[in-house]
Amino acid sequence: MTIPLLICDDSNMARKQVTKSLPDNWDVDITYATNGVEGLEAIREGKGEMVFLDLTMPEMDGYEVLQHIKKEGHKSVIIVISADIQPEARERVVGDGALDFIKKPINKAKLEEVLRKYGLL
Amino acid sequence: MKEIQQYTEDQRDCLQEIVNVAMGQAGDSLARLLEVFVTLSVPKIKTLRPNEVRDALQSFVDAEFVSAIRQSFHDSQGQKGLRGEALVVFGDSSFRELAELLAYDDEELSEVLEQELLLDIANVLNGACLNGIAEQLEEELIYSPPSILGQRVPVEKLFQHDQMKWEMALSVEINYKLENRSFNSDLLLLLPDTAIDYLARKLDEFLE
C-alpha cells in the first residue's frame, strides 16, 4: 500500500538529499513542506503517515511540530533528520514522540538502517 | 565580483545547508563543553559592504557592551581560494555565566581570565564550524591565531571599517543561545569578494 510520506525541511538541497536516500522501489507518495507550519498542515490533511522532519526551520521549528502532533493526536511515524546533533536534541525529540533521529547529512545507508530497525521496510 | 544576490537559488540553498550542518557540529561542541542545551536558529547569509558590518553586528548582538575575537583563515591557495575572517562576539552578560558553567567558582573575573574564556569558547565555535564547512567542501583550512578585538566595549569601538580591505563580503551569521540563560554569542564569517567567486565554484562542484 502506498504510504503518504512528508519530507519537511526548509532547505531544498536537504529535501533532495532525503529523496535521493529513499530506498529503491519504496511505495511512497511524497509531499514536501518547507517549514513547520506547512508540515503540520500537510499532516492534518493526512499526507504524513510517515514524516521526515528537520528541526531548525523558520516559522515553526521541528520541536514545535512534534508538540502539535502530540497535542492533536496524529498517528504519524516521525523520524527527525537534523544537523542539531546534540545528544540532548535526540533525547528531546524521542521524548516528544519521534521514533528516531538521523544526523545530517543523510544518505541511503543511514536511512535504510533506521527503517529496517523498526520494520518499516 | 559576485554578490549573494547573484548566487543561483541552488548555490544559496546549498551554502545555507552546508552552514546549517557545520553550525550543528559547533553547537554540539559548545553543548558538550558547557554541559547545557544550545538553542540554534537558522543561519543568516547576506552580503555586506565594510560600512555595514558595524550595524550588522549591532543588530544581532543584543547588548550594549560586547567582547569579540577575530581569527582569519585561508586554504592552501592563498588569495585566490577560500579565505576570510571569523568574528565571535559575546554579549556582556555572557562572562559571568560562562565562568559559572566552567566552574571558575567565585573567583573574581580578572581581565586575563576573561580573555582566556573568550579565546577558549571562540576556539571551540570557530574550529568546529569552519572545519565543518571545510570538510563538506573538501577543503583544508589554515587558521591564524585568534586575537582579541575588544573586551567589554561598545560595538562601534570594535573596529573601524577602513580596516577592512575588501569592497563586499559575504556574511554568514550564526547565533548560539544557551537554554534558560542569557548567554548570547554570534559567529560572523566574512568572506571577501574573491572568495565569494571561489565559493560559488565550490558549491557548483558540491551540487554535481
Per-residue pLDDT, B5: 64
Show the domain range for A69.
3-117
- Phi then psi for residue B57, to 5 deg, are -60, -45
- A1 CA: distance to closest CA in chain B (Å): 33
**Interface probe, candidates B15, B18, B28, B136, chain A, greatest A C-beta count within 10 A:** B28
Q: Is the peptide bond before B50 cis (omega within 30 degrees of 0)?
A: no
B156 in A contact zone (CB under 8 Å): no
Per-residue pLDDT, A113: 96
Residue B23 has pLDDT above 60, yes or no: yes
Mean pLDDT, range B5-18, rounded to an integer: 90
Q: Is A84–B27 a contact, with Cβ atoms under 8 angstroms apart?
A: yes
Q: How many domains does chain A have?
A: 1
Mean pLDDT, range A69-92, rounded to an integer: 96
CATH for B31: 3.40.1550.10
Contact B2, B193 (CB under 8 A): yes
- State the pTM of this model: 0.90
The CA dihedral of B39, B41, B47, B51, to the nearest 10 degrees, is: -50
Q: How many domains does chain B have?
A: 1
CA distances from A52 to A34, A114, B107, B207 (A): 12, 12, 47, 22
Cell (9 digits) for B198: 571561489
CATH for A21: 3.40.50.2300
Single-letter residue type at B126: N
Show the domain range for B68.
4-207
**Residues A4-53 pLDDT 10s:** 999 999 999 999 999 999 999 999 999 999 999 999 999 999 999 999 99
Per-residue pLDDT, B155: 83
Identify the CA nearest to B89 among candidates B154, B40, B142. B154
Residue B148 has pLDDT above 80, yes or no: yes
Which residues does residue B68 pair with via DSSP β-bridges, in sequence order?
Answer: B89, B150
Q: Is B20–A56 a contact, with Cβ atoms under 8 angstroms apart?
A: yes
Identify the CA nearest to B77 among candidates B202, B166, B172. B202
ipTM computed for the complex: 0.88
Per-residue pLDDT, B110: 80
